[in-house]
Amino acid sequence: MPVTKFSVPEKYKYLEGFGTYHQSEAVPGANPVAANSPQVPPFRLSTERISGSSFTAPRATNLQTWIYRVHPSPEHGDFTPLSSQPSSLEEELHLTPNALRWHDFPITKGQDWISSQKVITKSGNPRKKEGLAYLMYAASESMAPNTVFYSSDGDYLVIPQAGTLDIQTELGNLLVRQNEIVVIPRGIRYRVDVVGGIARGYICELYQGHFQLPELGPIGSCSLANARDFQIPIAQFSGSISNGIASCEKENWTIVTKFAGKLFSCTQDHTPFDIAAWHGTYYPYKYDLGRFSVIGSISYDHPDPSIFTVLTAPSHREPGTAVCDFAIFPPRWLVMEDTYRPPYYHRNSMSEFAGVIINNQDEESVWNKGGGDGFKPFGATLNGAMVPHGMDKKTHEEARKSDLKPEKAGMEGFMVFLFESERMMGVSWWALEAARKFGGKVPIRAGL
Ligand SMILES: [Fe+2]
């Protein structure tokens, strides 16, 4: 079956279908019928709405969800800045025309989902709702009890490289394992428990717009990431119903938010997981990368790598450009005749940030060459705009004289992802120091 053989079994049930209008009730009958905002909702719940787009956005991109909860969200104390701020968020970023490679990223022990996040590279500004950032996380601890987090700045596309994230969101629970991805839209509150040792991976924080499925054009109506394979949480309710009235116990909770790049926190005297039902189009979702239906050449030449796009966040600057294209390179058959099968040498207008989720390939694999060193799990590369790259000389020569038989690229145990962006990405100092720089040139200093 075209699904990943996960070592950690699934523990939740889900709704299925990307972009679909979904509705879910943890308490049967908690979603009002027809009316979105009746005078008194069922079980005397309060109506609340969270929007991910303007009200007048076209239907295809309009994202709104109605929620029915015990305590309205404004019932909390004032937010104040956290004493400990992520240092890399405000520091100067650096642009370089050199290719960068990270064999891995430095890890500080004892961190959780919030404290372990570090910006690798960034372009744009959440205050202007422009651009995006790529981050790494490496959490050995679950978040503190009775604590939730949300980003006011951007949608989080999370790619676990190792470990499992058990995520409790306002709209329900998701278990996210290696070879799955999860998208948590801005504003949605959640907490993350770490399961089975250190959880580490990559994050794309999208300040601008939202991810959507790519158009398929002549491919037709299916393949690549199919809409039915995206999984959406089911409502979970931490309160109770007594005499037809919903309530939840008093207990202290802390809410942490990232707002314009800084962390703030506040407290409230009730759980944020007091939503009995919801319906709408704005929700978190996860996807098993093993379900991706790969398209490729069955005659000659490489199609463009855009055929590997899972999700795209269009820029609207000009047709066909993206703030971020999220693509993957899964195991697949290569059968092209009279074709140079490794990636040809190229320079692209889009910047490319690639990371390694799984690589059990032998040392002779093309993916373990290319730059002369292995492409290791939790490693990454950044090839900025017009940075030339391709195979090393030895691999290049071998590819030109190899006997072209059908071969399985990647085999089992292989998954590399690629973020492509129209933007030039600025690299934070810590990430620059962690990278092994090719070319040895001094990076250009430039605040973004
Ligand atoms: Fe490339």
Ligand 1 centre distance from Cα of residue 344 (Å): 9
Residue 375 to residue 368: CA distance in whole angstroms:
5
Dig out the tokens for 118 from the structure. 């570090």
Per the annotation, does 352 bind a ligand? yes
Dig out the tokens for 136 from the structure. 């790494």
Ligand 1 centre distance from Cα of residue 338 (Å): 21
Name the CATH superfamily housing domain 292-447: Jelly Rolls (2.60.120.10)
Residue 361 to residue 376: CA distance in whole angstroms:
10
Catalytic residue among 71, 302, 316, 396: 302
Q: ∠ CA(427), CA(109), CA(434), 5° rounding?
A: 25
Provide the pairing of β-strand 147-151 with 253-259.
parallel
**Confidence at residue 359, expressed as pLDDT on a 0 to 100 scale:** 84
Residue 361 to residue 366: CA distance in whole angstroms:
9
* Residue ranges covered by each domain of the chain: 14-86+109-288, 292-447
Strand pairing partners for 193? 166
Ligand 1 centre distance from Cα of residue 160 (Å): 22
pLDDT by 10-residue block (mean), the chain, 448 residues: 92 97 98 98 98 95 97 95 72 86 89 96 94 97 98 98 97 98 98 95 97 96 97 98 97 97 96 98 98 96 95 92 96 95 93 92 59 73 93 92 91 87 93 68 37
Residues 6 or more apart in contact with residue 303 via CB below 8 angstroms: 295, 296, 297
Ligand 1 centre distance from Cα of residue 352 (Å): 6
- Quickly list DSSP for 78-100: --EE-SS--GGGTSPPEE-SS-E
Sign of CA pseudo-dihedral 39, 148, 57, 19: negative
The CATH number of domain 14-86+109-288 is 3.40.50.720? no
**Confidence at residue 374, expressed as pLDDT on a 0 to 100 scale:** 60
Q: 292-447: same fold as 14-86+109-288?
A: yes
Residue 253 to residue 394: CA distance in whole angstroms:
58
The answer to whether residues 7 and 171 touch, using CB atoms and an 8 Å cutoff, is no
Per the annotation, does 346 bind a ligand? yes
Residue 2 to residue 208: CA distance in whole angstroms:
32
Closest to 303 measured CA to CA, from 281, 286, 327, 319:
327
Sign of CA pseudo-dihedral 378, 384, 390, 394: negative
Residues 6 or more apart in contact with residue 323 via CB below 8 angstroms: 131, 132, 206, 208, 209, 313, 314, 315, 421, 422, 423
- Each residue's pLDDT tens digit, 213-260: 999 999 999 999 999 999 999 999 999 999 999 999 999 999 999 999
Ligand 1 centre distance from Cα of residue 391 (Å): 10
Q: Provide the Cα torsion 279, 190, 309, 94; round to 10°.
A: 140
Dig out the tokens for 273 from the structure. 């997981």
Provide the pairing of β-strand 253-259 with 262-268.
antiparallel
Ligand 1 centre distance from Cα of residue 186 (Å): 30
Q: Which residue in this structure is represented by tokens 């943890």?
A: 26
Q: Is residue 302 flagged as an active site residue? A: yes
